[in-house]
Structure 1
Amino acid sequence: MRNLYEIIQSCKDGNEEDVIFILNKFDPLINKYSRLLEYEDTKQELSLTLIKVLQRIRIDKGNFREDKYIISYIKKSIINRYIALLKQLSKVSRYESEADINLIYADNDEDVLEMCDLLKDLTEIERKVIILKYMYMMKDSEIAILNNISRQVVNQAKNRAISKLRLYFKKSLNIVDK
């Protein structure tokens, strides 16, 4: 039986059967991290990472003649790619949740347009805070964590936004302060 060193050397030389053998050997690890991400292309992404690792790995250096070091290197490479994908997906989900106006439950299109008009006068952070707080019913601390800001910044943005919205409603209803 050949060891991993010989199999990876064969993969570097272009032997497709050995590449498939390695993919099958690390399939449980790839499945584990693809399930954790719950993203449709994760398994393919991690499999591609493994194939790239097979081409990049410098088996002629260090202790790579022993299987345990090769396995550890491949495992760390897959975990690092998982972490990078996780960070990338968290950024995407943060931007998707900013102002998804389609989630506003309105009786008609005019209500949606009026809500859009109200929100466009707010700054980006004020808009995020109002949407997350009142549409998604999130707590200030949750909003702070999601946007990498302090709770105090969330509270200040919320108060500024509410003040702007009050002023807007006063103007639209022709209410004058005494």
Structure 2
Amino acid sequence: MAKLDSVLRHAITAPTFDQTKLHRDRLVDELHADIPRKLIAIAAPPGYGKTTLLADFTAHTELPVCWVRITEADRDVLRFASILNNSLQKRFRRIKDEIDLEKLFSTPPEALAHIFAEVIDANISDTFVIVLDDIHLINSSKSTLAFIDTMLEVLPEQVTLIAAGREVIEVSLARLMAAGDLGGMGPQDLALTRDEIIDV
């Protein structure tokens, strides 16, 4: 049980931003500018500082942030939903016990997403962010992607998902783009500028 609790705590806790590292205010400001959108997709190869940027953002934003560190085990949609539920409960105590996943084990991913959206809409009026780090690890999971894709369609407007990984999250990007609900960053955006290199 202690090991399980440790794994869960790690999964829903944002990495501490090392204050000795470069604060990338340019990119943090860009993330803030995109917050009204439903999805901010960040995709780049290893070494571009995706997780460090999100830790930087979390440390410097006034918005509530719910963090999910994704593993290959999250290809199981119920496990992913459980981690997300715990992350939401950690940040917003008032939704504790609102979602009983044990009773929803056979619920289709799309219906499960609607339940999450309804609970969030009924209990959280704050603008907030859900960070999904290492999203590429679940790009082969149809069920987990269906859950996330439906959430992006039905979540209330106060919620923004930031999905970061080595690949772009495989959801309905065209739909989101057409609605003006898609922001993003790639390797060129994440690369250090000349001024940032001097500051390092």
**When the two structures are superposed, what TM-score results if normalisation uses the length of structure 2?**
0.23
More helix by share: 1
More strand by share: 2
**When the two structures are superposed, what TM-score results if normalisation uses the length of structure 1?**
0.25
Larger RCO of the pair (alpha carbons < 8 Å, separation 6+): 2
